[in-house]
């Protein structure tokens, strides 16, 4: 089950139990609005910074951005900007070299694309020796990491704001036919190279298939595509109750429309703080976080670091 599944079902449960007929008449309107403002704040209260000393005080809402997450380990990092043909402003991140190698020679390109509700940050949260991007950089590759419209790095448009409902009217199809071509063209033009390797996770694979089927001339430009957990359908039978919540989604959409909410579970200080308090190591509630995590991504206790949220202070917000 991917992140969208879990968030949508959790959202369905919260909203239906709060706004269902009868219950909504009991709960005062101001409490209903408080609840929605907590989940979907207009001001997320977060500021991205690039130095660890400025991100130490998490209560002030400061978190490291991609550049800061990488440079804290003394790896080089870059941020590049590109605009799609339909006006979305995207950020591409890059790790052009490694501490272990001579970074002057020409390198083969690897492009990595995140899945649903993620960003380039998700590839670098664990650090060197663990995260794939660092391992690839250490092996001599020029690593580029994409971000797509609507994620935490790509929330601007040449004509619209994120408060315009039209900003959010897209799917994996537009990402595949517009975002990926724009990023590929930029990378090829910048590096003067003609092809690359592609690594996609979840919806990042679906977007690639959409891209290559709609623009077959790009097939020759991909040396190899590595598809991690390809997403073909949204709903997966994990627990029977989750499938029941799926039937409630039309009601959820109506509630969100009525309150002019278009961005589902944005990164925010409030949710990040709640997650940190509930999921920190040695808390009585951490097992709930572990169960939820395994429900989303599959159980693998050997690969779960329960103390990483406390040792890397920005992780819990960026994962949420």
Between CA 203 and CA 151 the distance in angstroms is 13
Q: Nearest Cα to 204, choosing from 153, 145, 162, 152? A: 145
**317 or 288, which is more confident?**
288
- pLDDT, residue 5, reads 40
> Can you say whether the dihedral through the CA atoms of 180, 224, 102, 104 is positive or negative?
negative
Per-residue pLDDT tens digits for 35-74: 666 666 666 666 776 666 555 555 566 778 999 999 999 9
Contact indicator for 123, 145 with CB cutoff of 8 Å = yes
Residue 316 has pLDDT above 50, yes or no: no
Domains by residue range for the chain, with CATH: 73-233 (3.40.50.1820)
Q: Report the distance separating Cα 67 and Cα 120, nearest Å.
A: 10
Residue 82 predicted with pLDDT over 80: yes
Least confident of 150-164, 223-237, 299-313: 299-313
pTM of the model: 0.81
**Range with the lowest mean pLDDT among 128-142, 200-214, 253-267, 277-291?**
253-267
**What whole-number distance in Å separates Cα of residue 292 and Cα of residue 17?**
19
Instruction: Please answer whether residues 314 and 63 qualify as being in contact, where contact means their C-beta atoms are separated by less than 8 angstroms.
Output: yes
In degrees to the nearest 10, what's the CA dihedral of 125, 130, 132, 133?
Answer: 60
Run of H or E including 237: none
118-128: string of b/e by CB count within 10 Å (b at 16+)? bbbbbbbbbbb
Do 14 and 39 meet the contact criterion of CB atoms below 8 Å apart? yes
Answer whether 132's CB lies under 8 Å from 99's CB: no
- Token pair, residue 22, equals 């009868």
Contacts of 165 (CB under 8 A, 6+ apart): 260, 262
In whole angstroms, what is the distance from residue 123 CA to residue 133 CA? 7
């Amino acid at each position: 089950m991917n992140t969208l599944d879990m968030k949508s079902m959790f959202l369905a449960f919260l909203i239906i139990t709060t706004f269902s007929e009868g219950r909504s008449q009991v709960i005062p309107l101001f409490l209903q609005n408080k609840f929605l403002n907590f989940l979907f704040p207009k001001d997320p209260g977060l500021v991205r910074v690039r130095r660890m000393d400025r991100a130490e005080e998490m209560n002030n809402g400061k978190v490291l951005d991609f550049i800061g997450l990488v440079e804290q380990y003394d790896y080089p990092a870059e941020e590049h900007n590109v605009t799609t043909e339909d006006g979305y402003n995207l950020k591409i991140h890059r790790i052009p070299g490694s501490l272990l190698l001579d970074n002057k020679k020409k390198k083969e390109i690897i492009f990595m694309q995140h899945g649903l509700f993620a960003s380039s940050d998700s590839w670098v949260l664990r650090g060197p020796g663990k995260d794939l991007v660092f391992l690839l950089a250490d092996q001599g590759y020029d690593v580029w990491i994409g971000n797509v419209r609507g994620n935490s790095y790509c929330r601007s448009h040449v004509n619209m704001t994120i408060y315009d409902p039209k900003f959010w009217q897209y799917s994996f199809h537009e990402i595949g036919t517009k975002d990926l071509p724009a990023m590929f063209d930029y990378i090829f033009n910048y590096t003067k190279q003609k092809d690359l390797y592609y690594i996609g996770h979840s919806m990042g694979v679906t977007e690639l298939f959409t891209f290559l089927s709609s623009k077959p001339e790009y097939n020759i430009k991909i040396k190899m595509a590595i598809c991690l957990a390809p997403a073909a359908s949204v709903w997966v039978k994990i627990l029977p109750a989750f499938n029941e919540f799926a039937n409630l989604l039309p009601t959820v959409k109506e509630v969100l429309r009525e309150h002019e909410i278009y961005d589902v579970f944005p990164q925010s200080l409030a949710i990040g703080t709640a997650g940190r308090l509930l999921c920190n190591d040695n808390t009585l509630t951490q097992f709930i976080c572990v169960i939820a995590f395994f429900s989303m991504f599959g159980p693998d206790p050997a690969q779960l670091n329960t103390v990483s949220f406390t040792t890397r202070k920005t992780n819990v917000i960026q994962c949420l």
